[in-house]
């Protein structure tokens, strides 16, 4: 993990260091095992449900993309910070072996109940820059003082 | 444009219906498996000594992971692993298609390996858009040892 980020160092409009991953089938099988979601939609190209859903190939779990946003916000909060909440909507599908890039931007800084809170817009986008998984997050950061 | 699917009073009455509690285990192996699944290389998810040096109780559950529901073939879904249990909403929606609409998690503590959580869920919202129904379920996760709520997670499913 990168160095700890402090509340004083953050400004509105600041971009978070992005996380990029292009999950192959093995990666999604690992995610199936880790998450307990063994829906064949994500790893079996002969799964009969693909066709009725208008798909010709497997798609990435929404929760996999959510977890990439989780990595993004935890990376920003650092070990001394705390992720207070993060949420996304699944608006578009991502196919295997295509880049999924988790990104975020600071939208507000505020102090509440003794905590230094930072609000974020977060999302994953594909290679074309389409935001398939938009959402928001709030983290608490430590102070230098 | 077709009329919105009708949400009946009977369906709305299911909002708030609580399930029975279910146990979710956060184990060291479970945390590492999930961390591998998301492609993380952060040692705080793998190395117990390292995580303790950073001030955590043990390796940290990656954000998005709230443990694994205790599984038994008689009670849990074979594909998704989630528990089939008493209580909770009974909607009988006339749809076959199902999509994941979104996930939101609110954290009140860091979740670490060794934690045992007790989860209950309820239907928080139901609404129609065209011939699709959006259900939002909220799960509340309590730490079994302390009884403290450690996380709330809202899942939206789209039925069509």
Instruction: Return the domain boundaries, chain A.
Output: 7-140
Looking at the DSSP bridge assignments, the partners of residue B136 are B125, B156
Place of tokens 């060291």: B28
Return all residues near B136 (Cβ < 8 A) that are at least 6 apart: B123, B124, B125, B126, B154, B155, B156
Dump the DSSP string for B44-93.
GGT-HHHHHHTT-SSSBPPTT---EE---TTTB-TTT-PBP-SBS-----
The C-alpha of B3 sits at a distance from chain A's nearest C-alpha, in angstroms, of: 23
Percent of residues, chain B, with pLDDT higher than 90: 78
Residue from B63, B83, B129 whose CB has the most chain A CBs within 10 Å, to mutate: B63
For chain A, say whether B157 makes contact (Cβ under 8 Å). Answer: no
Does the pLDDT of residue B1 top 80, yes or no? no
Testing the interface with B: which of A4, A79, A99, A102 to mutate, by most B Cβ within 10 A? A79
SS3 annotation, A29-65: HHHHHHHCCCCHHHCCCCCCCCCCCCCCCCECCHHHH
Cβ-contact B85, A91 below 8 angstroms: no
Tokens of A139: 């983290």
B36/A contact by beta carbon, under 8 A: yes
Geometric angle at alpha carbon B120, from B7 and B132, rounded to 5°: 25
Domain boundaries, chain B: 9-25+72-159
At A103 the three-state DSSP class reads: strand
Partner-chain residue, chosen from A27, A33, A87, that has the shortest CB–CB distance to B103: A87
By Cβ distance, the residue of A67, A80, A90 closest to B38 is A67
- Picking from A27, A38, A90, the nearest residue to B100 by CB comes out as A90
End-to-end CA distance of chain B: 16
Domain A7-140 in CATH 3.90.550.10: no
**Would you call A32 an interface residue with chain B, using a CB distance cutoff of 8 Å?**
yes
Of B37, B64, B110, nearest to A30 by CB-CB distance is B37
Using an 8 Å CB-CB cutoff, list chain B residues near A21.
39
Compute the average pLDDT of residues B41-61: 98
Q: Which residues contact B74 (CB under 8 A, 6 or more apart)?
A: none
- By CB atoms closer than 10 A (0-12, 13-18, 19+), residue A39 is middle
pTM, two decimal places: 0.95
**Nearest-Cα residue of chain B relative to residue A91:** B101
CB A4 within 8 A of CB A79: yes
Question: Quick check: B102 and A27 CB within 8 A?
Answer: no
Which H or E element spans position A77?
helix A62-77
Residues of A in contact with B56 (CB under 8 A): 79
Residues B29-38 have a mean pLDDT of: 98
Out of B39, B54, B79, the one facing A79 most closely (by C-beta) is B54
- Helix, strand, coil content of chain A in percent (nearest 5): 25, 35, 45
CA B155 to CA B139: how far, in whole Å? 8
Q: Does A36 touch chain B (CB under 8 A)?
A: yes
Q: Domain B9-25+72-159 class?
A: alpha beta
Whether B129 has its CB under 8 Å from any CB of chain A: the answer is no
φ/ψ of B120, rounded to 5, equals -125, 150
Q: The complex's ipTM?
A: 0.96
pLDDT digits (tens, 9 = 90+) for A107-130: 999 999 999 999 999 999 999 999
* DSSP helix/strand/coil, A126: coil
Lowest-confidence pick of B58-67, B74-83, B103-112: B74-83
Closest by CA position to A133, among listed A98, A87, A79: A87
Which pLDDT value is given to residue A2?
65
**Are B44 and B51 in contact, with CB atoms under 8 Å apart?**
yes
Mean pLDDT by 10 residues, chain A (145 residues): 89 98 97 96 91 89 97 98 98 96 98 97 98 98 94
Distance CA B91, CA B70 (A): 25
For the cut 80, the answer to whether the pLDDT of residue B30 exceeds it is yes
Task: Please tell me the least confidently modeled range out of A125-129, B50-54, B77-81.
Answer: B77-81
């Amino acid at each position: 993990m990168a160095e700890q980020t402090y509340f004083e160092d953050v400004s509105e409009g600041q971009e978070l260091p992005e996380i990029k991953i292009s999950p192959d089938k093995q990666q999604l099988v690992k995610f199936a095992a880790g998450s307990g979601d063994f829906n064949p939609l994500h790893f079996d190209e002969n799964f009969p449900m693909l066709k009725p859903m208008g798909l010709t190939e497997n798609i990435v779990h929404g929760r996999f993309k959510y977890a990439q946003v989780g990595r993004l916000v935890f990376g920003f909060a650092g070990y001394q910070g705390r992720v207070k909440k993060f949420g996304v909507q699944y608006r578009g599908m991502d196919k295997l072996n295509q880049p999924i890039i988790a990104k975020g931007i600071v939208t507000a800084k505020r102090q509440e109940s003794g905590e230094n809170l930072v609000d974020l817009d977060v999302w994953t986008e594909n290679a074309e820059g389409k935001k398939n998984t938009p959402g928001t997050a709030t983290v608490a950061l430590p102070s230098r003082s | 444009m077709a009329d919105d699917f009708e949400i009946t009073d009977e369906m709305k009455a299911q909002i708030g219906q609580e399930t029975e509690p279910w146990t979710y285990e956060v184990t060291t192996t479970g945390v590492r498996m999930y961390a591998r699944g998301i492609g993380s290389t952060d040692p705080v998810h793998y190395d117990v000594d390292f995580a303790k040096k950073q001030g955590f109780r043990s390796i940290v559950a990656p954000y998005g992971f709230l443990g694994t529901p205790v599984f038994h073939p008689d009670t849990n879904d074979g594909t998704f692993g989630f528990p089939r249990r008493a209580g909770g909403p009974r909607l009988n929606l006339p749809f076959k298609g199902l999509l994941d609409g979104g996930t939101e998690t609110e954290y009140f503590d860091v979740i670490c390996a060794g934690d045992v959580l007790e989860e209950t869920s309820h239907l928080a919202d139901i609404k129609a858009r065209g011939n699709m129904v959006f259900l939002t379920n909220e799960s509340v996760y309590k730490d079994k040892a302390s009884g403290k709520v450690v996380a709330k997670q809202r899942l939206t499913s789209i039925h069509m």
